[in-house]
Amino acid sequence: MALGLPVVVATGIFREPWITQWVDQQGEEGLRAWMEHEIKTGIETTGVRAGWIKLRSGDDELSAAQTVLVRAAARAGAATGVVIGSHTVGGRVASRQVDVIEAADYAANRFIWIHAQVEPDFAWNLELARRGAWIEYDGIGDSPVDRVYVDRIQRMWDEGFGDRILLSQDRGWYDPVKPGGGVPKPYTYLTDVFLPKLADAGLTDQQIRQMTVHNPYTAYATDYAAH
């Protein structure tokens, strides 16, 4: 907290083959209760409460086990108001997750499609935005061509969905075979390099502030008293 930056801890589970036997034993109700406990009370004995739910889907389909996780997350989200983010490559799989969330009486606007830029068909980005989901473009700084991101962001604004965009870097990292883990990637690429490129492309200060201040605040804000 030395920099005054908020850190929002997640609860949640990855996908096969990293789903443990414990997960299978809990079932949907047990997973719902576990996530809700970590959000309302705290993670194990730390006293630190999770502020959102993070999942991971398959690239081409939503398996039966993943469907259970999404449904449990949606029920925990409905009880607490937290947002659900899912590491998802394909638009069809992202859409399927929103189907499950809505069927569990939670809302599409409490879902973040993480890695939305990986889907080659931009129409899926628009489709999920129309349904209310957050469209997160991340890995910024790792792509050799930032223009791909700039183009998608401009098109989202042109279609009226600038208020559904989230930006992220996936920075840091280390190489375990190098002394000290190697040299981590700096966390300043977005602010120092990418945002000026958006400005050069014609996005206004107000639009950039919308994506970097207002959108993330709205996506992750939670009114515990209302749930």
The model's pLDDT over 175-186, given as tens digits with 9 standing for 90+, comes to 889 998 898 888
What would you measure as the largest C-alpha separation in the chain, in angstroms?
53
Q: Which CATH number fits domain 10-226: 3.30.540.10, 3.20.20.140, 3.40.50.720, 3.30.70.20?
A: 3.20.20.140
How far apart, in whole angstroms, are the C-alpha atoms of residue 88 and residue 86? 6
- Mean pLDDT across the chain: 93
Model confidence pLDDT, tens digit, residues 41-62: 999 999 999 999 999 999 889 9
The pLDDT assigned to 225 comes to 41
- Whole-model pTM: value is 0.93
Q: Which pLDDT does position 224 carry in this prediction? A: 47
Q: Is the pLDDT of residue 161 over 90?
A: yes
Q: Reduced to 3 states, what is the DSSP secondary structure of residue 134? A: strand
**Residue 115 above 60 pLDDT?**
yes
Q: At what angle do helices 122-130 and 91-103 cross, to 10 degrees?
A: 10
Per mean pLDDT, which range of 38-47, 95-104, 176-185, 205-214 is the poorest? 176-185
